[in-house]
Structure 1
Amino acid sequence: MHCPACKNALTKIIITNVQILACEYGCGGLWFSQSQVKMLENLKPRLGMPLLKIKRADGIKVYRGVEHICPYCKTTLLFRHFFSKELDTEVNQCAKCGGFWFDVAGFSKTQTMNGQQK
């Protein structure tokens, strides 16, 4: 699969038996299937820390509001599920397969949010 934001090939990353696709050396985005998100919710705190260290290419700019095609379905547009200018984070979801695309420009900041903000 390819990154919906920068078209870079997505790389498999395995964190405690959960396979995630990451845009390493590109924009740094993360693709999670619906089942992977549920598995991640059950992880102990801090086990997902490697997700915050995805290597990004220098000079990559994140363009907000651009329509992206689901990297799994390849035909369905992703819709914005969450956006925070303050946290520099955006989450998009595919209406067909239920997968999530995380724009991780500010993803690490979500680790400091309290339960109500999340």
Structure 2
Amino acid sequence: MSTNEGFTCPACRKQLQTVTICDTELEACTNGCGGIWFDAAELFRLHRPTDGAPDPMLEKLLALSSPASQATRGKLSCIKCGTPMKTHEYRENSGIFVDECYACGGIWLDGGELKAIRENPAVLQSNQERAQMERDFAKKVQDEKIRLAEEAKKRASRRRI
């Protein structure tokens, strides 16, 4: 974990730390409100619980939950490009509101929101459905590879005749 001299927490104004979680480098407010900055698409790598061994830094960040009140902190600006961020619900009916930069795609989670996302039944159900679709797709790809290999063998054997 290292101090990132370039980024200040948009919620509590403390210095952000660069942390690595599951091979993904993030900026986190480890000495303040517990918020986490995700560049575009990074959140989707970490928003669901993993089957592997727990990541110690992830566990530390999940335990930080002293978010700056959205009412007292005011509107946030993107730490990367300075654009005012928009607040919206993470997933429909999740009850979890995140801040997103529509210019660069970055997402700010207040302290405790990553844990809430990972434990939310709507998100978990969605993740289970996505995982099943990924498994189904992988099986279809494998079946198609086998079919194409068998066709290639048949064509090759006909040429020898």
Scaled by the length of structure 2, what TM-score is found?
0.56
| 1:14 is the counterpart of 2:14 | no
* Greater relative CO, 1 or 2 (CA 8 Å, sep 6+): 1
Question: Structure 1: 5+ residue runs without aligned partners?
Answer: none
Query: Hey, which of these two has a bigger chunk of helix by percent?
Result: 2
**Greater CA drift, 4-13 or 46-55:** 46-55
Q: Which runs of 5+ in 2 are unaligned?
A: 1-6, 127-161
Larger Rg over CA atoms: 2
Q: Which residue of 2 is the match for residue 94 of structure 1?
A: 101
Q: Structure 2 residue aligned with 1:72, among 63, 68, 80?
A: 80
Q: Which amino acid aligns with 2:76?
A: H
Judge conservation of contact 2:100–2:106 (CA < 8 Å) in 1. yes
Provide the TM-score with structure 1 as the length reference: 0.72
- Normalized per residue, the structure richer in strand is 1
Percent identity over the alignment is: 26
Q: Provide the residue aligned with 2:112 in structure 1.
A: 105
Post-superposition offset of 1:41: 5.8
Alpha-carbon distance in structure 1 between the residues aligned to 2:38 and 2:45: 10
